[in-house]
Amino acid sequence: MATMKFMCDTKRCIECNGCVVACKNENETALEWGIQRRRVVTINDGQPGEASISVACMHCDDAPCMKVCPANVFSKTEDGIVLHDKDRCIGCGYCLYACPFGAPQFPKKSAFGGKGKMDKCTFCAGGPNTEAGSAEEKAKYGANRIAEGKLPMCAELCATKALLAGDAGMVSDIYRERVVGRGHPAAGWEK
Amino acid sequence: MTFKALQPLALLAALLFSGFALANGGEIAPQAGNPTEMVWQAAQQGVEGYTTSQSEFHPQLINSYDLQMLDWRNDWLSYGLFAALFGMIVVFIAFTVVNGPSKLSKGFSGKMVNRWSKADVAIHWLGAIPCMLLILSGLVLLSGKVLIEPALGTGAFAGMASAAKLIHDYMAIPFMIGWLLMSVKWAKNQIPAKYDLDWFMVVGGYINFGPFKGKHPHSGFANAGEKMWFWTLVLFGAVLSVTGTILLFPNLVEPSRALSLTVLLVHAGAAIVICAFAIVHIFMTTVLSEGAMECMVSGYCDENWAIQHHDLWYDEIKANGTLKYMEK
């Protein structure tokens, strides 16, 4: 059994926003106007120490959204992917407050429950209570590449392979190899 | 093997959490570490960068806060509200079974004395009906996922949750108006007085056995128990109204995410207090104190009820001529 994780290698990310476009395109059936499940944040833009990181739902082990949700919208697959059930979402916005990564988004921003149904990255694994690959799943949650044995589109299309997706062990193996290749003494185990 | 493979991630996680600890502790010591470490430190401290996304909070990489808040809410406040509601009901049923209702010692006189104006009755129910609905819908929203879903199943709970959200949002407004009007209009009758201490000494005179049996403490327009409930409602109603407004109108208030979460916990805590008092209040008027409910139905109370429970007030209105009987 895998534990699915994203990881973004800041040494490789060039802020091309290819992952954002790939995600938008792959999941566009489910995305209302203005929602993007993935974003690239650049810190120290144009200055020494500039670094870009691609961010979406991190599919946390102890997901705060899952803890705070009053309607039990969230569930975790056996691969550690955090999925949301759009039928059960009541649009309270608590997950938006609890998520440290700003992953949950709402189509509307008005008061009195006008937020609509929450949307976030599904690790391209569709949603709960829908048949994998069905039109219903596509309309509600977007792609289900995991069911087809594929990884999320954002990572698959990353031109520099900065964004890695997959089993945590494999992702960290790849990253460790890179760190060794970059000549870091003790392969990142010491400062 | 797997553990070894996970170690770099564990290291990152450790870095992340040390970042939380440091962020809570205030300043982070500048570190001349490698550039990747610098990026992580900046992210943990909540650095904002440039992004093409227009979505809320998206320029910030990581929003750090005390994650324990979520456990406090789930492990304590959820059960607390449930206990405040059903626990108080059980306690009061047990008390009523043992003690019996507090009867009027001279029975009903049939003469009704004016106690509340029509406006008073109206603002009472303007606050009270939404208050009851808010308690019930709030129970679904706070405790439902841990107590109602396991008991009633997912289908029933999902429907209840979405209904509760709507009820809670819309009932908030009349409750706040009712709360404000009651707080302002009634405060002058609720100032604590010396005889309130005596009221506490005999537990209000509602006990039908033991040394307190048959005692009727002095009381003005409001007795000490009513004053306690009034000021609790004023104070915690204010907390609920302010925190509720922040949660209800994030587009106007624009709170930070950490503030919204804090407010969520404070809201639940204040709701537990109001809920417990509200149950007592409802039980006192409907079951325990004979003749009390009539006050908030017609605005009039029985003359014997006024003499037994609010003697000082009765003497006062009788003396200054403001005593008004119901016209037959």
Nearest CA in chain A to B143: A70
Mean pLDDT value across residues B88-99: 93
Query: Do A113 and B163 form a contact (C-beta atoms < 8 A)?
Result: no
Mean pLDDT value across residues B122-126: 97
Query: Do A88 and A73 form a contact (C-beta atoms < 8 A)?
Result: yes
Contact residues for B219 (Cβ-Cβ < 8 A; gap 6+): B195, B196, B199, B309, B310, B311, B312, B313
Q: Return the minimum-mean-pLDDT range out of A87-91, A109-113, B83-87, B117-121.
A: A109-113
* Dist. CA B298–CA B285, nearest whole Å: 14
pTM of the predicted model as reported, rounded to 2 decimal places = 0.88
pLDDT at B13 over 80: no
Query: Degrees (nearest 5) of the Cα angle B314, B317, B319?
Result: 105
The gap from C-alpha B193 to its chain's centroid, in whole angstroms, comes to: 26
Write out residues 33-62 of B within 8 Å (CB-CB) of A.
33-39, 42-43, 47-62
* Dist. CA A29–CA A189, nearest whole Å: 43
Q: What is the pLDDT of residues B141-180, one digit of tens each?
A: 999 999 999 999 999 999 999 999 999 999 999 999 999 9
* Dist. CA B19–CA B26, nearest whole Å: 10
Give the DSSP H or E segment for A166.
strand A163-167
pLDDT at A111 over 80: no
Q: Return the minimum-mean-pLDDT range out of A85-99, A174-188, B293-307.
A: A174-188
Give the strand pairing for A4-8 and A74-76.
unpaired
Nearest CA in chain A to B58: A102
* Dist. CA B102–CA B99, nearest whole Å: 8
Q: How confident is the model at residue B102 (pLDDT cuts 50, 70, 90)?
A: confident
User: What is the average pLDDT score of chain B?
Assistant: 89
In this prediction, residue B26 carries a pLDDT of 44
pLDDT at B230 over 50: yes
Residues of B in contact with A169 (CB under 8 A): 2, 5-6
User: What is the average pLDDT score of chain A?
Assistant: 92
Write out residues 158-177 of B within 8 Å (CB-CB) of A.
158, 161-162, 164-166, 169-170
In this prediction, residue B28 carries a pLDDT of 45
Q: What is the pLDDT of residues B247-266, one digit of tens each?
A: 998 888 889 999 999 999 99
Mean pLDDT value across residues A59-72: 96
| Residue B34 CB coordination number (10 Å) | 13
- Helices first, then strands: H and E counts in chain A: 6, 6
Residue contact B43–A173, C-beta within 8 A: no
In this prediction, residue B22 carries a pLDDT of 44
In this prediction, residue A188 carries a pLDDT of 54
In this prediction, residue A129 carries a pLDDT of 92
Most confident of A133-142, B102-111, B206-215: A133-142
In this prediction, residue B210 carries a pLDDT of 76
Write out residues 142-161 of A within 8 Å (CB-CB) of B.
none
Mean pLDDT value across residues A65-91: 96
Nearest CA in chain A to B262: A97
Give the strand pairing for B300-302 and A39-43.
unpaired
Q: Determine contact: B218 vs chain A, CB below 8 A.
A: no
The interface predicted TM-score (ipTM) is 0.91
Which domains can be identified in chain B, with CATH numbers? 1-62 (no CATH), 64-320 (1.20.950.20)
Q: Give residue for tokens 């409907």.
A: B286
In this prediction, residue B16 carries a pLDDT of 47
In this prediction, residue A112 carries a pLDDT of 62
Write out residues 88-147 of A within 8 Å (CB-CB) of B.
88, 90-94, 96-102, 105, 109-113
Most confident of A171-180, B99-108, B117-126: B117-126
Q: Which amino acid is at A167?
A: D
Q: 3-class secondary structure for chain B? A: CHHHHHHHHHHHHHHHHHHHHHHHHCCCCCCCCCHHHHHHHHHHCCCECECCCCCCCCCECCCCCCCHHHHHHHHHHHHHHHHHHHHHHHHHHHHHHHHCCECCCCCCCCCEEECCCHHHHHHHHHHHHHHHHHHHHHHHHHHHHHHHHHHHCHHHHHHHHHHHHHHHHHHHHHHHHHHHHHHHHHHHHHCCCCHHHHHHHCHHHCCCCHHHCCCCCCCCCCCHHHHHHHHHHHHHHHHHHHHHHHHHCHHHHCCCHHHHHHHHHHHHHHHHHHHHHHHHHHHHHHHHECCCHHHHCCCEEEHHHHHHHCHHHHHHHHHHCCCCECCC
Q: What is the pLDDT of residues B17-40, one digit of tens each?
A: 444 444 444 444 444 466 778 888
